[in-house]
């Protein structure tokens, strides 16, 4: 391996000369210092309470997918800490309400997904009914109430809800400081050519970690851990020279270049078996690319994936740069989400606080794929990707799989299991008296970035 230079103010640039267009450009450096984050924010109840008040109740966060509520009257439940919300498709768009019946407080819906009967919600305690616009439709046996008790015809309490590229976001604040598009800053522009509406859910898992939501999130917004945790990726992807970008409102991104022999390897000419396998998965023939050296092999990946897109009818690939077609563009919209964007599949990860215990949190990993048009092509399940499995063949995405909770490590899928088993260990260690806060590299700067945004919202910094 040759000597690699690093200037922290420049960082590593994934696409020299702006070859991938403005969306791929390195963002200007933001100096977030060298301090060690206070470890207590990863387990203290006081910190969790501050976050609840200043962050969770006032910020946009991912609630679900438009694909999961295709018809008027379909709903999904979105639980966040001690609160629960119901998101419903109405004739005039998607709306969200507290999942609370104003009569005595019963939860209105009790399942993750469902369809209302007769376009209204019916509470299963005393039968009050609510229209999809949240207004009160019926109070059972109204005559037994003194009029003053119900004269305002109590309806559901609405919260802010908006949709970007098939992703539904909810902000409990009815008058948000920023619109959803403002909150997401450059991400919608960067991803304007991706059509997420064509993705279908391949896997959806939910898990309660023995770790604070931030401990879990931190493990997925840096790739510094990849050499140790994901050694299988070494032959096919960058580990060191990834690009880390910070944007407004806590948004950040990392670009993990894929599909060639990187500068970490002494022999960059030989095309390894993993690279050939990638080409084969997408229906290409490695023999067609024998003229390419290992460090040039991204051309083979690009060519193969573009042919794959043509074959299966995904014209939007024509608008993506070669780098977007092959690489992993990993965005983290503040505060609690990662979106790993590959052209043909997307991995969403959501990290939500536990209702009462800051040492626990809820995690969702949703794998989305573009369905294939024949019966043999495989789709890539990003979480289970590993030596023995990639994803199903001939997958049409017609049936939405149920959300499930893994009982064994192996049920997370090969790749994700590598991360999962480490996170509770990190939580235990950072609670030790000997630990004085993380020493973060510049490849872990996204951690500093979202913590700084939380500090701003809490009012610790201007
Ligand atoms: S609590 Fe809903 S109708 Fe009584
Ligand atoms: Fe990982």
pLDDT digits (tens, 9 = 90+) for 381-414: 887 776 666 788 899 999 999 999 999 998 998 8
Assess whether 153 and 253 both reside in one domain: no
Assess whether 161 and 210 both reside in one domain: no
Residue 225 in domain: yes
Domain stops at, among 175, 205, 225: 175
Compute the distance between CA of residue 130 and CA of residue 152 in angstroms, rounded to an integer.
Answer: 14
* Ligand 1 atom closest to 101 (CA): 2
* Ligand 1 atom closest to 106 (CA): 1
CA distances from 360 to 211, 212, 314 (A): 5, 5, 40
Report the CATH number that the domain containing residue 119 is assigned in CATH: 2.102.10.10
HSE-CB at 133 with a 13 A cutoff on CA atoms is 4
Report the CATH number that the domain containing residue 28 is assigned in CATH: 3.90.380.10
Q: Which residues of the chain have pLDDT under 70?
A: 1-2, 386-389
Compute the distance between CA of residue 165 and CA of residue 392 in angstroms, rounded to an integer.
Answer: 25
E runs forming strands in 269-376? 328-332, 337-341, 345-353, 361-369
Residue 360 in domain: yes
Spacing, Cα 423 to ligand 2 middle (Å): 10
* Ligand 1 atom closest to 105 (CA): 1
CA angle, 167 then 215 then 459, to 5°: 80
Q: Determine the pLDDT at residue 383.
A: 77
Assess whether 142 and 225 both reside in one domain: no
Spacing, Cα 100 to ligand 1 middle (Å): 9
Assess whether 148 and 286 both reside in one domain: no
Give yes or no for residue 309 CB within 6 A of ligand 1: no
C-beta atoms surrounding 387 within 10 Å: 9
Assess whether 112 and 240 both reside in one domain: no
Q: Determine the pLDDT at residue 382.
A: 80
Q: What are phi and psi of 362, to 5 degrees?
A: -105, 145
Q: Determine the pLDDT at residue 16.
A: 94
Q: What are phi and psi of 17, to 5 degrees?
A: 75, 15
Q: Determine the pLDDT at residue 384.
A: 74
* pLDDT tens-digit readout, 199-244: 999 999 999 999 999 999 999 999 999 999 999 889 999 999 999 9
Assess whether 74 and 124 both reside in one domain: yes
Q: Which residue of 124, 126, 138 sits with most ligand 1 atoms within 8 Å of its CB, as the best mutation to test the pocket?
A: 126
Domain count, the chain: 2
Using a cut of 0.95, tell me whether the model's pTM lies above it: yes
Residue 102 in domain: yes
> By alpha-carbon position, which residue is closest to atom 1 of ligand 1?
104
Give just the sign of the alpha carbon dihedral 437, 439, 443, 446: positive
- 100 neighbors 108 (Cβ within 8 angstroms): yes
The secondary element (H helix, E strand) that includes residue 75 is strand 74-80
Q: Determine the pLDDT at residue 305.
A: 96
Residue 5 in domain: no
Residue 119 in domain: yes
Spacing, Cα 205 to ligand 2 middle (Å): 16
Owning domain of residue 96: 61-175
Assess whether 396 and 305 both reside in one domain: yes
Assess whether 93 and 128 both reside in one domain: yes
Q: What are phi and psi of 458, to 5 degrees?
A: -75, -20
């Amino acid at each position: 391996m040759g000597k690699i230079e690093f200037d922290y103010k420049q960082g590593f640039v994934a696409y020299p000369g702006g070859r991938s267009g403005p969306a791929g450009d390195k963002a200007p450096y933001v100096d977030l210092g060298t301090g060690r984050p206070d470890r207590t924010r990863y387990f203290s109840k006081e910190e969790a309470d501050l976050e609840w008040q200043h962050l969770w109740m006032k910020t946009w966060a991912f609630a679900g997918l438009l694909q999961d509520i295709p018809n008027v009257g379909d709903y999904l439940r979105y639980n966040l800490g001690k609160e629960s919300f119901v998101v419903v498709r109405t004739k005039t768009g998607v709306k969200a309400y507290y999942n609370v019946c104003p009569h005595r407080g019963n939860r209105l819906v009790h399942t993750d997904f469902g369809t209302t009967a007769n376009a209204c919600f019916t509470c299963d305690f005393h039968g009050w009914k609510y229209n999809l616009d949240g207004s009160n439709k019926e109070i059972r046996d109204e005559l037994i109430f003194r009029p003053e008790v119900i004269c305002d015809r109590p309806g559901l309490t609405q919260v802010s809800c908006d949709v970007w590229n098939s992703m539904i976001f909810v902000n409990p604040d009815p008058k948000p400081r920023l619109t959803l598009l403002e909150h997401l800053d450059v991400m919608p522009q960067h991803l304007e050519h991706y059509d997420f509406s064509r993705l279908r859910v391949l896997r959806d898992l939910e898990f309660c970690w023995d770790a604070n939501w931030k401990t879990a999130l931190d493990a997925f917004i840096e790739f510094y851990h990849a050499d140790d945790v994901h050694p299988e990726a070494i032959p096919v992807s960058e580990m060191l020279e990834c690009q880390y970008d910070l944007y407004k409102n806590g948004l950040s991104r990392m670009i993990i270049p894929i599909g060639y022999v990187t500068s970490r390897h002494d022999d960059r000419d030989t095309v390894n078996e993993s690279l050939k396998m990638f080409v084969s998965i997408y229906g290409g023939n490695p023999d067609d690319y024998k003229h390419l050296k290992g460090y040039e092999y991204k051309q083979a990946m690009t060519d193969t994936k573009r042919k794959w897109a043509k074959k299966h009818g995904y014209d939007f690939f024509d608008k993506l740069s070669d780098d977007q077609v092959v690489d992993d563009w990993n965005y983290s919209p503040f505060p609690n989400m990662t979106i790993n964007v590959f052209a043909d599949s997307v991995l969403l990860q959501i990290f939500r606080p536990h209702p009462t215990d800051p040492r626990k949190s809820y995690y969702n990993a949703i794998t989305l794929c573009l369905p294939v048009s024949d019966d043999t092509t495989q789709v890539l399940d990003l979480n289970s990707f590993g030596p023995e499995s990639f994803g199903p063949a001939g997958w049409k995405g017609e049936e939405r799989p149920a959300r499930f909770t893994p009982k064994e490590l192996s049920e997370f899928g090969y790749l994700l299991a590598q991360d999962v088993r480490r996170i509770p260990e990190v939580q235990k260690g950072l609670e030790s008296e000997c630990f004085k806060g993380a020493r973060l590299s510049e490849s872990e700067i996204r951690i500093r970035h979202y913590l700084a945004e939380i500090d701003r919202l809490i009012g610790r910094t201007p």
